Amino acid sequence: MDVMQPFYDICADPKAYARSWKARTGGKVVGTLCSYAPEELILAAGALGFRLVGGSGALSKADAHLQAYSCSLVRGALEDALSHRLDFLDGTIFPHTCDSIQRLSDIWRMNAKTGFHLDVVLPVKLNTASARDYMTAVMRKARSGLENMLDNPISDDDLRQAADTYNRIRATMKTLYAIRRERPGAIAGRDMHAIARAAMVMDRHDFLAGLTRVVDRLADAEAPARGDAKRIFLSGGVCNLPDVYGFIEAAGGAVVGDDLCTGSRQLMGAIDLKDDPIDAISRRYSERAVCPAKHTGVRTRGEELVRMAREADAQGVIFLYLKFCDPHAFDYPYLKDTLAAEGIPTLLMELEEQTASDGQFQTRCEAFMEML
């Protein structure tokens, strides 16, 4: 559909988009490495948040600093930085989540030339009163850090306007996810991937306008649902490989939901605009569905995954994990057993951006669909 073209253009070369945006607006661009980066604060400061999700090119410089068993996200991002492909960044925010991103922060600070460096040291356990207080203190410190580093004060009104923009983006994305859930095949998996990827790099006001056009077009269209398709839920972290969706669809499946951190997890949770803005933003990051680098209870992750899969009426769950992603690998046996106890079949696929495994993925997808 023609309304999708801006998203595909950005996905084809997100770095070129950021450079063009910076030249056009005179604004500043801030890199982030995780969905726990406080995007609302970046927008409130008048900057463009730019999510780094690794790279697909050959690695040479990064391997001098990172072990070969580091995931492709941190290796690819560092390769881009050391190869000066991120020279448009005015700074980078590192939320403390997994060990790999924390150690990447240290290496980045000493070796990368990408402007200011801001660590956002988030709590690990999120569901206690002390953790909520700590999260709020971290956000206040991040606000002050961004004000100083971008030389731009952030008012409470700026924060409320930014939060309102993100609320509208997340509400519209929720509508899009509902269309995909209720009418499998109404929007192709590659289209959903392009939208989710653009959400992380595109001017957020322009993104909201484009997203609204897509949702309006789908609401007006009578796109046929693939009633015979196997309903698949995707679970995992970063997925920057759009071909994954094509393989699933070619094998007879249709993705009807996900909890990817480059998917629905970055879009969960509304911000209460009536409260103190920093308190409200902090609460959103504390209360949304957690990734394996955070903790709210021994069984919380499994219960949440079962709930989301059931809500999507999924017939099976495909885990998409980056190779060498220890937090997700640690959680996998427990999550697999939890789903099995509920009668939900699963398939694990390891991804690595720098290594193609198309044939294996396609074959395993076909076998999984036949089993459902």
Q: What does the alpha-carbon distance between residue 262 and residue 14 come to, in Å, rounded to a whole number?
A: 15
Q: Is 257 helix (H, G, I), strand (E, B) or coil?
A: strand
Q: What does the alpha-carbon distance between residue 85 and residue 114 come to, in Å, rounded to a whole number?
A: 10
Provide mean pLDDT across the span 130-158: 96
Task: Identify which has the larger pLDDT, 266 or 302.
Answer: 302
Q: What does the alpha-carbon distance between residue 27 and residue 165 come to, in Å, rounded to a whole number?
A: 18
Q: Could you read off the pLDDT of 166-220 as tens digits, one per residue?
A: 999 999 999 999 999 999 988 999 999 999 999 999 999 999 999 999 999 998 7
252-266 burial, b at 16+ Cβ within 10 Å, e below that, comes to bbbbbbbbbbbbbbb
Longest dimension (CA), the chain: 57
Question: What pLDDT does 240 receive?
Answer: 83
Among 157-161, 270-274, 360-364, top mean pLDDT goes to 157-161
Question: What pLDDT does 225 receive?
Answer: 63
Any residues with CB less than 8 A from the CB of 359 and at least 6 apart, and which?
none
Residue 354 has pLDDT above 80, yes or no: no
What is the set of domains in the chain, with CATH numbers?
Answer: 13-154 (3.40.50.11890)
User: Checking phi first, is residue 313 left (phi over 0); if not, alpha (psi -120 to 50) or beta?
Assistant: left
Question: What pLDDT does 290 receive?
Answer: 83
Provide mean pLDDT across the span 148-177: 96
For the beta carbon of residue 84, count every other beta carbon within 10 angstroms. Answer: 11
* Tally of helices (H runs) and strands (E runs) in the chain: 14, 8
Any residues with CB less than 8 A from the CB of 127 and at least 6 apart, and which?
286, 296, 297
Angle between helices 358-371 and 243-250 (to 10 degrees): 40
Residue 73 has pLDDT above 80, yes or no: yes
H or E segment at 85?
Answer: none
Q: Is 4 helix (H, G, I), strand (E, B) or coil?
A: helix
Question: What pLDDT does 2 receive?
Answer: 87
Task: Quickly state the pLDDT bin for 344 (edges 50, 70, 90).
Answer: very high
Task: Quickly state the pLDDT bin for 90 (edges 50, 70, 90).
Answer: very high
For 115, the token pair is 């402007």
Residue (of 146, 206, 198, 153) closest to 25 by Cα position: 206
Q: What does the alpha-carbon distance between residue 26 and residue 20 come to, in Å, rounded to a whole number?
A: 10
Task: Quickly state the pLDDT bin for 282 (edges 50, 70, 90).
Answer: very high
- Look-up of token digits 């030339």: 113
For the beta carbon of residue 124, count every other beta carbon within 10 angstroms. Answer: 11
Residue 356 has pLDDT above 70, yes or no: no
Provide mean pLDDT across the span 150-164: 97
Q: How far is residue 337 CA from its own chain's centroid?
A: 25
| Burial group, residue 278, by CB count within 10 angstroms (0-12, 13-18, 19+) | buried
Q: How far is residue 115 CA from its own chain's centroid?
A: 23
Strand order in the sheet with 48-51: 48-51, 29-32, 91-95, 116-120
141-160 burial, b at 16+ Cβ within 10 Å, e below that, comes to ebbebbbebbeeebeeebbb
Q: What DSSP line would sit under 107-162, residue for residue?
A: HHHHH--SSEEEEE---SB-SSHHHHHHHHHHHHHHHHHHHHHHT----HHHHHHH
Residue 268: DSSP 8-state: -
∠ CA 113-115-116 to the nearest 5 degrees? 125
Provide mean pLDDT across the span 286-299: 85
For 171, the token pair is 């509400």
Q: What does the alpha-carbon distance between residue 239 and residue 306 come to, in Å, rounded to a whole number?
A: 21
Strand order in the sheet with 253-258: 253-258, 230-236, 316-322, 346-351
Q: What is the pTM of this model?
A: 0.94
Question: What pLDDT does 59 receive?
Answer: 81
